[in-house]
Amino acid sequence: MASDPSPKTAHIAYLDVGELQDRLSSGALTSVGLVEALVQRIADLDRPDSPTALRSVIAVSERALAEAEESDRRRALSSDNLALEGIPVLVKDNIEVNGLPSSAGSTSLLERPPASDAPLVTRLRQAGAVILGTTNLSEWANIRSPRSTGGWSAVGGLTANPWALDRNAGGSSSGSGAALAAGLAPLAIGTETDGSICCPCSLNGVAGIKPTVGAVPTAGVVPISPSQDSPGPMGRTAADVRLLLDVLTGAAEPSGEPPPLSSIRVVVATTWRTGHPTTDSLFEETVERIRSLGLPTVDVAPAGPTGEAKKDESTVLLCELKDALDLYLPTRGPGGPQTLAEVVAYEDGHADVELAWFGHELFEQALALGGRDGEAYRDARRRNLSWALDTVLEPALACADVLVAPYMGPAWKSDLLLGGHPASASPATMAPAVAGWPIACVPMGLAAGLPVGLTIIGRPGSERTILAVAAAVEVPSRPTWTPPTRS
């Protein structure tokens, strides 16, 4: 492995949450010292004038050190530590954090920062977490244009993949995935509507889960789709993700021991492949490892998405987007767009910044559809839900607990001029996205030196079972730090 580009902080950058908690509890480390090291690492690796210039962090909280000091005081007064006492967390910048931009990557929200925290951020603070900052993302969570480049926003620029700076970090939770892989924080929050946690987890070699829709509150999150949006935890291991999930869901007590592996029945999706030979080969090796652990498996050939299913999902998302943004935008106060139509007008008036690389065709389509009261919405949602449940998920999981499939091949080269998305991807995220079911993604190895991910799908409320399988088969790794430097 090549030397870490920020050697002063390398000793602390990749410690898992359990080890950090042990060091904090023993006095070998303070939360202040941890935050100072990570802020320095962000300065070394992430700022635009850095040789690496990851651009994964939009803003570092000015309150982080004060929060760390308060955490250290609490720890000195009591041995009864909170679940995340003193642990720094980065939050995707479409989630409201008082004192931070919470811009969704759009300059239209920069002058209207939130006056309070989203409920999920309140839960983080109540658990003792230090809010370190907010992360870059695909602007508006990647629902502006079919020609978008994942990880680009007008506020944050283009997020780079720490495994290779010319490679894509995925979307829309690109900054959260890249920051974790780069060792800028031990934990991060992402959001997913269809693939937006799983994609950056796969491409950056980290772990995450989109919980069951409704398990984590979406109030204070810039919305796309009430039927599909779900904030979720991201970390470098499934164990860290599980700890963060307990906090986000408001669990009164830690979720306890996961079910015995031997009791978990696994479906192997034989028809969901990426088409990338090395990735699909790694998946077959992962399946053999699952079997060697004693988990009962069965091969199933789940249906893939039809053209009608894809069109229906798009119709549902765009109709819900129009209504949801029209309700949300006024909550950010005056002085900027109050409706989706005004966002489009704003972006047209600031095209040199907002539309520098691609347009907002999807916004225009959303306006043309007219929201959920339009004729198209109800039939599309009914058909789409029936496809996801009756055609795909229920038959595939009829006699099992979880389904496993590869997600996508290694990160592709970013191209702002041409845009583009991966050609080698399985349809794993679509049916659970439409149905609101949980799905996790964890690293399963390297393909030509770049990470690729395994997806694990379960029924609503089965997050503990999903993460138990994830912890058993994940292959954690860290960047080799031999990327081409940006010119």
Q: Which residue has the tokens 């699952």?
A: 290
Cα angle value 170/225/316 (rounded, 5°): 100
Give buried/exposed letters for 437-462 (b at 16+ CB in 10 A, else e): bbbbbbbbbbbeebbbbbbbbbbeeb
Asked if residue 475 lies in contact with residue 452, where contact means CB atoms within 8 angstroms, the answer is no
Rounded Cα–Cα distance for residues 120 and 99 (Å):
16
Which one is catalytic: 71, 92, 148, 176?
Answer: 92
Which one is catalytic: 61, 196, 202, 414?
Answer: 196
The helix or strand, by DSSP H or E, that contains position 177, with its residue range, turns out to be helix 174-181
Q: For 369, list phi and psi in degrees, rounded to 5.
A: -70, -30
Side chain identity at residue 450, one-letter code: L
C-alpha of 97 from chain center: 17
The two tokens of residue 132 are 């370190």
The two tokens of residue 16 are 């898992």
The two tokens of residue 273 are 């492949």
Q: Tell me if residue 92 is catalytic.
A: yes
Q: Tell me if residue 116 is catalytic.
A: no
CB atoms within 10 A of CB 393: 22
Pairing state between β 207-210 and 439-447: antiparallel
Which one is catalytic: 108, 172, 414, 462?
Answer: 172
Q: Hey, which residues are catalytic here?
A: 92, 172, 196
